[in-house]
């Protein structure tokens, strides 16, 4: 034993003293907790084995803590601490182990960084390709824009006015042609009742001497719709031949007023 003590260095002696002090402190704490546990057991015995109520819950927790600390103390007492010798050979071995762990961790970190760099390179290549495509598109659109600018005809108010006037003249001429054709068609296929040898027919002709033709009725309806669209209805008079009114209503060209059946209007085909 004396030989072993002579071989110990001052650091080894300090480590042993620290371990002994730590062991003594743990033993003292265990003895103190053991005394508290014995005191609690005595109080329970004096209480005659009565059930603990809510106020004695803290005592139960304290006893559980005593048991856990006692078990931990026993483990520390059975365990023999390993004292690391502080000679150069041991320090070299420990240093090599630490360097191996550090090298392993740095290798994993390097692999992670390399994989991230590879992904970033792929993203950069893809974005660069997209940028090239967009630049080509912009260049082609710029060329098209330049061509369109060269093809633009200078604006001229006089020329525009002349073109609009020409179109308006053509539309008016076409409108007059349509109206003329419509009048001819209506006069041919929907004439007013004519006189004949029948007395009843003569009597009807005398009573309806001032009848309006079908194209005149349509003209009145059109003018009423265009001039007063808020109130386009016209009153049916004796000048309107009833068969014409019935024809317009049945064909959907005219509509009767909802409240007054003696008023009609032209269907708004232009809306």
Phi then psi for residue 17, to 5 deg, are: -65, -40
* Residue 58, in any domain of the structure: yes
Q: Could you tell me the pLDDT band of residue 154, with boundaries at 50, 70 and 90?
A: low
* Residue 81, in any domain of the structure: yes
Is residue 64 domain-shared with residue 80, that is, in the same domain? Answer: yes
Report the predicted TM-score, pTM, of the whole model to 2 decimal places: 0.37
* Residue 171, in any domain of the structure: no
* Residue 111, in any domain of the structure: yes
* Residue 175, in any domain of the structure: no
Higher pLDDT, 151 or 95: 95
The owner of tokens 């090298």 is: 103
Is residue 68 domain-shared with residue 122, that is, in the same domain? Answer: no
Is residue 102 domain-shared with residue 77, that is, in the same domain? Answer: no
Is residue 122 domain-shared with residue 55, that is, in the same domain? Answer: no
* Residue 249, in any domain of the structure: yes
Given a cut of 50, whether residue 194 has pLDDT beyond it is yes
Is residue 198 domain-shared with residue 255, that is, in the same domain? Answer: yes
Is residue 73 domain-shared with residue 124, that is, in the same domain? Answer: no
Instruction: Give the end of a domain, one of 86, 112, 128.
Output: 86
Is residue 22 domain-shared with residue 82, that is, in the same domain? Answer: yes
Least confident segment among 105-109, 170-174, 203-207, 264-268: 203-207
A 10 A CB-CB count for 63 gives 14
* Residue 113, in any domain of the structure: yes
Higher pLDDT, 25 or 21: 25
- Edge-first strand listing for the sheet containing 263-266: 234-235, 263-266, 254-256
Is residue 9 domain-shared with residue 78, that is, in the same domain? Answer: yes
Dihedral sign (CA 191, 195, 201, 205): positive
- Between the two ends of the chain, the Cα-to-Cα distance in Å is 120
The pLDDT tens digits of the residues spanning 197-234 come to 444 444 554 554 588 888 888 889 988 888 888 889 99
Is residue 43 domain-shared with residue 71, that is, in the same domain? Answer: yes
Average pLDDT, the chain: 79
The count of domains in the chain is 3
Residues 6 or more apart whose Cβ sits within 8 Å of residue 205:
193, 194, 195
Average pLDDT of the residues in 169-196: 83
Share of the chain above pLDDT 70, in %: 77
Is residue 93 domain-shared with residue 126, that is, in the same domain? Answer: yes
* Residue 164, in any domain of the structure: no
Average pLDDT of the residues in 17-35: 77
Is residue 55 domain-shared with residue 116, that is, in the same domain? Answer: no
List the domain range (segments joined by +) for residue 7.
2-86
Instruction: Give the end of a domain, one of 86, 113, 130.
Output: 86
Share of the chain above pLDDT 90, in %: 21
What pLDDT sits at residue 6?
42
Is residue 61 domain-shared with residue 107, that is, in the same domain? Answer: no
What pLDDT sits at residue 65?
83
- Per the CB < 8 A criterion, the answer to whether 235 and 254 are in contact is no
The pLDDT tens digits of the residues spanning 64-102 come to 888 888 888 887 777 766 666 667 777 788 888 889 989
Instruction: Give the end of a domain, one of 130, 152, 174.
Output: 152
Largest pairwise CA distance in the chain: 167
Least confident segment among 112-121, 153-162, 230-239: 153-162
């Amino acid at each position: 034993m004396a030989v072993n003590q002579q071989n110990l260095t001052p650091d080894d002696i300090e480590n042993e003293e620290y371990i002994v002090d730590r062991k003594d402190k743990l033993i003292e704490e265990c003895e103190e907790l053991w005394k508290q546990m014995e005191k609690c057991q005595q109080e329970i015995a004096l209480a005659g084995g009565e059930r603990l109520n809510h106020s004695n819950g803290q005592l139960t927790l304290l006893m559980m803590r005593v048991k856990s600390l006692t078990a931990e103390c026993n483990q520390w007492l059975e365990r023999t601490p390993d004292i690391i010798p502080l000679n150069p050979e041991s320090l070299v071995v420990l240093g090599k182990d630490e360097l191996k762990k550090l090298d392993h961790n740095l290798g994993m970190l390097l692999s992670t960084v390399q994989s991230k760099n590879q992904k970033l390179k792929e993203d950069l290549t893809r974005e660069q390709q997209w940028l090239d495509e967009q630049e080509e598109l912009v260049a082609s659109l710029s060329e098209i824009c330049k061509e369109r600018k060269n093809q633009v005809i200078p604006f001229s108010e006089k020329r525009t006015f002349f073109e609009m006037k020409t179109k308006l003249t053509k539309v008016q001429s076409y409108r007059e042609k349509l109206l003329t054709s419509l009048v001819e068609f209506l006069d041919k296929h929907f004439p007013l009742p004519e006189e004949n040898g029948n007395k009843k027919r003569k009597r009807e002709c005398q009573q309806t001497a001032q009848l309006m033709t079908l194209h005149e009725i349509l003209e009145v309806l059109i003018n009423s719709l265009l001039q007063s669209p808020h109130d386009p209805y016209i009153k049916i008079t004796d000048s309107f031949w009833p068969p014409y009114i019935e024809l317009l209503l049945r064909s959907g060209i005219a509509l009767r007023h909802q409240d007054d059946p003696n008023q009609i209007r032209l269907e708004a085909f232009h809306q």
